[in-house]
Amino acid sequence: MVKSIVILFFLFSLLGVGAQEHAWVYFKDKGGVAAALANPESILSARALARKSKFNIPVDERDVPVNENYIAQVKGEAGITVKAKSKWFNCVHVLGSINDIASLSNLDIVERTSYADRSLSAKTRISAKNKIKRDNHSDKYLAQKTDFVYGESQAQITQLKVEALHQLNFMGEGLWIAVMDGGFPNVDQLAAFSRIRNNNDLLGGYDFVDRTTDIYHPNGDSHGTRVLSDMGGYIENEFVGTAPNASYMLFRTEDVATETPVEESYWVEAAERADSLGIDLINTSLGYSTFDNSNYNYTPAEMDGNTAFISKGANIATEKGMLVVNSAGNSGSSSWGVVTAPADANVYTVGAVDINGAYVSFSSRGLNAQGIVKPDGMAMGRNSAVVDENNFIVRNNGTSFSSPIMTGAIASFWSALPDKTNLEIMQLVRESSSMYQNPNTQMGYGIPDFDLALTINGVKGQNEGEVISDNTLDYILFPNPMETNVQIQLPFGTSMAILRLYDIYGKRILEKKITPTDNQISVEQLSQAMYIVQLEMGGISKEYKLLKK
């Protein structure tokens, strides 16, 4: 009996010594904070400082880099490998045995250690019954290559009414977008990206997995190349991304060969780099919930926007003024079902619909675990047109592609309203969406209408007091935008017309006979939104858009 106990003890000791665990090691301080904050240009680019100043975002201690001497001390400890660092959290991501990681607490500079396997952390216990079998998220994009039909990219643009932005030359000009993904092979050579290269809008980037600036090498997969195409790709007469005039920085944070928690740390480190360089938007077509080692798995209840390391980082990215757009995930038909981190955070989360605007079953559902509406919006994620690493236009499935389609659309919209904050832009997009008044767990707020968003916000449409006039029937409606009343002037010689007022969902709000003497309707009780007026006379009807301020 004693011999058996000794053997078991010996085996557990071996496990403690040899098994490699992922953990975050948090430092007590940084050192040199006051000097760095007194000279913020030493830690942030001029563009980053200008963006923060514009939107009244303070430069604080989180912007100060991690103390490199502290990192060196941790690296010098036996059995420890430092994989990533985070200035926002003042920590490093390490690999090592349980015993070696535990010994780091003896360093005076270390405040605490948090294991990715939360059962090993003193403050958090996850029982075995709550562990979930690995729901392999290797379907981060669902490939379905088919021959491209000419002009197919128009479907994903017109579904969101992005053409209304492009027609007014709002195409993301002046905005910088960071794309965080698994690989960007041939972006530096493909004809589809010659437009952004020739316009100096391909800003380079960094591979956080292999720690190299060679981001176009084939070590990563082609997922990022395809994702980028839906924003910045352009092939004349064949393919147009949603933000062809934006500038792009490419960060590889996903190691497609494995699924481990260090990828969360790569992502946070990349987001910090993006913020320090002045990036405006981040697109992430990635999601984390289960890992190769099930001890690191999250549970659906932990998709609350505040548990996963990557979600906490995404929240800070938003707080720092960047607009983060993230794919909802492709787990809608699996046992997992719900959105994955960081889609659960304070970001704009995008699900997938088909060409007809119908929910696609693989699209991960909301709400998040705190009851916040997720997804935030929907875009085309079934048979999305993308450009692959060989410059062929193909079709792919997945929220991986509805996300960049939306990111580019939002960037183009933001270029029309450059003085709005990231949170304001996200809310304006939600308010223009098809289900804003009645969101659900599959579609969230629904499909945005960027034409409507432009009009509601005064970028497109009539100014105060201007009239809408139709040359055929010569109706005149004013004022537009409207506040309390709308007056209708009938065509000359007309004694009566029928007016019907609809909301943007097609619900009839009122119907009234309009005559030359009774030609006014009250709109004082209506909510601020876009409405459709239908005027019918002699069997001929005309429709007009009216905006309620």
Active-site residue (options: 229, 311, 400, 432) = 400
Please enumerate, as own/partner, the contacts of 65-68 that have beta carbons within 8 Å and a separation of 24 or more: 65/30, 65/36, 66/27, 66/30, 66/90, 66/91, 66/92, 67/27, 67/29, 67/30, 67/31, 67/32, 67/109
User: How far apart, in Å, are the Cα atoms of 54 and each of 51, 57, 416, 420, 458?
Assistant: 5, 8, 16, 10, 22
Higher pLDDT, 365 or 9: 365
Give the whole-number percent of the chain exceeding pLDDT 70: 87
Q: Cis ω on the peptide bond leading into residue 40 (within 30° of 0)?
A: no
* Angle, helices 399-416/422-431, rounded to nearest 10 degrees: 110
Residue 348: CB atoms within 10 A of its CB come to 27
Instruction: Give the chain's mean pLDDT.
Output: 87
* 7 has a pLDDT exceeding 60: no
Q: pLDDT tier at 18 (50, 70, 90 boundaries)?
A: low
Active-site residue (options: 223, 230, 304, 331) = 223
* 311 has a pLDDT exceeding 70: yes
User: How far apart, in Å, are the Cα atoms of 110 and each of 65, 80, 82, 90?
Assistant: 16, 14, 14, 10
The confidence score (pLDDT) of residue 445 equals: 96
Q: Which of 492, 537, 496 is nearest to 513 (CA)?
A: 496
Q: In terms of CATH architecture, what is 137-456?
A: 3-Layer(aba) Sandwich (3.40)
The confidence score (pLDDT) of residue 467 equals: 37
Q: pLDDT tier at 218 (50, 70, 90 boundaries)?
A: low
Q: Which CATH class is domain 468-548?
A: mainly beta
User: 116-130, 286-300, 309-323, 428-442 — which is least confidently predicted?
Assistant: 116-130
Higher pLDDT, 151 or 449: 449
Q: Are 415 and 344 in contact (CB under 8 A)?
A: no
Mean pLDDT, residues 24-28 taken together: 97
User: 131-140, 233-242, 396-405 — which is least confidently predicted?
Assistant: 131-140
* 396 has a pLDDT exceeding 60: yes
pTM for the model stands at 0.79
Q: pLDDT tier at 19 (50, 70, 90 boundaries)?
A: confident
Angle at 385 between CA 266 and CA 233, to 5 degrees: 65
The confidence score (pLDDT) of residue 224 equals: 96
* 275 has a pLDDT exceeding 80: yes
Q: Are 278 and 106 in contact (CB under 8 A)?
A: no
pLDDT tens digits along 51-94: 999 999 999 999 999 999 999 999 999 999 999 999 999 999 99
The confidence score (pLDDT) of residue 466 equals: 35
- Based on the residue annotation, tell me whether 166 is a catalytic residue of this protein: no
The confidence score (pLDDT) of residue 487 equals: 87
**Residue 205: half-sphere exposure toward Cβ, Cα within 13 Å:** 34
Q: pLDDT tier at 151 (50, 70, 90 boundaries)?
A: low
Mean pLDDT, residues 458-462 taken together: 65
Active-site residue (options: 63, 100, 117, 181) = 181
DSSP H helical segments within 160-304, as ranges? 163-167, 194-198, 223-232, 262-277
For the ranges 119-123, 160-164, 470-474, 536-540, the maximum mean pLDDT occurs at 160-164
Q: pLDDT tier at 468 (50, 70, 90 boundaries)?
A: very low
Mean pLDDT, residues 493-510 taken together: 83
CA 398 to centroid of chain Cα atoms: 14
CA 130 to centroid of chain Cα atoms: 29
The confidence score (pLDDT) of residue 261 equals: 97
* Pairwise CA distance, residues 385 & 225, whole Å: 13
Per-domain boundaries in the chain: 13-130, 137-456, 468-548
Higher pLDDT, 271 or 1: 271
Read off the DSSP letter of residue 370: T
Mean pLDDT, residues 162-180 taken together: 94
- Based on the residue annotation, tell me whether 181 is a catalytic residue of this protein: yes
Q: pLDDT tier at 534 (50, 70, 90 boundaries)?
A: confident
